[in-house]
Amino acid sequence: MNFKLVSVYQSPRVNGFWGMAIVLVACLLLAAPAANASGVVLQYHRISDSGPAITRTGPDDFAGHLALIERLGFPVRSLPDMLAGVCDSSDESAIAITFDDAHLTVYEQAWPLLRERGWPFVIFVNTAAVDDGHGGTMSWQQLRELVEAGVIIGNHGVDHRHMIRRPADVEVDEWQQWRRQQVIQAQQRIDEEVGPQPLIFAYPYGEYDLATAALMEELGYAAFGQQSGAFGCNSTMQALPRFPVSGPYANPESVELKLASLPFPTSGRMLEPVQPPGMRRPVLSLTLDAGKVEGFEPTAISCYATGQGAIETEWDTENSTLTARAGAPLPVGRSRYNCTVRNGLEQRYHWFSQPWFIPDADGQWPAE
C-alpha cells in the first residue's frame, strides 16, 4: 500500500507582558510549591545549524536549553518513569527530553552533553529509515550503544507516513489494519534490534484522530502529539503534549516559560482533532476541574489560534466548561488553539493546546 501557536501567540507585547512573566518565573519558581504533579516533554529533531529550519536546533541553542533546565532546578526524568508517576502525590514537576527520527546529530551532538549530566532521554524511531540506511540517520549499532547507556527507543511507526490521511480508495477497515501494522511492525523491529522497549509512541507529524488514539490504548501505548502544553494525572494518555523547541521555538525566553508550565485540570471526553471538510472554525469545549488546583482561575484563561492571536473565550461557571472558537477560518493542514492562564499562587502558567487537522473543502490534504 502506498499510503508533521506551538508557542503562545507572539504579540507585540512579548517583550513587556511575557518578559515580566519570565522574571516572575525566575524569582518564584524554586520558592513556590507545585500545584500538582506534572510533566513537560521537550521535542527535538536534529541538533544542527543546517537542515530544514522547522526541525533543527542549533548546538549552541541546545546547550543553552540544558543550562536553563539546570538553572531552574527541574529534575530530568525518564519518560516512562514520568508517565508511571504522574498521578503520585509527590507534587513534582519534571522534564523529559525526546528526539524524533533518530538523526545522526543526536548521537554526535546531543548525547555527549546529556551523558555528562547523566540525563535520560528518548529517541522515537521510524524503523524503515534505519533499516534502509537513510543518510543522516543513526544505525542500529549506534542505537544499541545508546540503549546500553540507558537511552530509551520509542516507536515512531515504520515509515513516518500520515496516520490520519486515508486515501479515498482505501476502505476504513483496511486503513485501520495498516495503522495497526505501522505500530506493531515498528515495535517488533525495535525490540529485535535493541531489546524490549517501553510502549511509547510519537505520532508522525503529531497527527492523530480518535480512532488512532483508541488503537494506541488497545495496544497499551502512551502516545504523544506535537501540541504544546504540560500533562498531568487527568491528561489523556494517548494524546499527550510535547513542546517543540526547534526552529523559531528554540528561543530561550519562550523555552523558559514552557519548562515552568503546568497542565490544565481537564476532565471529560477527548475532542476529535480531525475536522470534516469545510469545518475551519472548530469549537473547543473543555470541562475543567478548576476547583482541584489552587491558584487556577478559569475566568482569566486566554486562548489563541494559529495565525490569529487571541480568540473569543468563554467560561461557563455553572457547567465548568471553557469554550473557544477562532474568529476566522483556520488554514488547511495543521493548526492549534493554545490556552493559557497564570496560576495566582505560583506565578507559573497553566498551558493547554488543542490540535486541529483540517482538510480542504474536497476532503484533500495539502502536499508535504
pLDDT in tens, 77-101: 999 999 998 887 766 899 999 999 9
| Whether pLDDT at 24 is above 50 | no
Q: How far apart are CA 55 and CA 46, in angstroms?
A: 6
Whether domain 37-261 has CATH 3.90.1580.10: the reply is no
Q: What is the mean pLDDT of residues 98-112?
A: 98
Q: How confident is the model at residue 33 (pLDDT cuts 50, 70, 90)?
A: very low
Looking at residue 291, its pLDDT comes to: 87
Q: Return the C-alpha cell found at 159.
A: 515509515
Looking at residue 223, its pLDDT comes to: 98
Looking at residue 268, its pLDDT comes to: 73
End-to-end CA distance of the chain: 19
Looking at residue 36, its pLDDT comes to: 56
Q: What is the mean pLDDT of residues 359-363?
A: 94
Q: How confident is the model at residue 29 (pLDDT cuts 50, 70, 90)?
A: very low
Percentage with pLDDT > 70 across the chain: 89
Where in the chain are all domains bearing CATH 2.60.40.10?
Answer: 7-34+264-361
19-28 helix and 252-259 helix, angle to the nearest 10 degrees: 50
Q: What is the pLDDT of residues 216-264, one digit of tens each?
A: 999 999 999 999 999 999 999 999 999 999 999 999 999 999 999 999 9
Q: What is the pLDDT of residues 287-345, one digit of tens each?
A: 999 888 899 999 999 999 999 999 999 999 999 999 999 999 999 999 999 999 999 99
State the chain's mean pLDDT as an integer: 90
Where in the chain are all domains bearing CATH 3.20.20.370?
Answer: 37-261
Q: How confident is the model at residue 37 (pLDDT cuts 50, 70, 90)?
A: confident
| Sole residue written with cell 471538510 | 277
| Whether pLDDT at 353 is above 70 | yes
Please report, for residues 72, 253, 322, the alpha-carbon distance to residue 68 in angstroms, rounded to integers and kept in the order given: 6, 10, 33
Please report, for residues 23, 90, 188, 259, 297, the alpha-carbon distance to residue 29 in angstroms, rounded to integers and kept in the order given: 10, 17, 42, 11, 19
If one looks up domain 7-34+264-361 in CATH, what number appears? 2.60.40.10
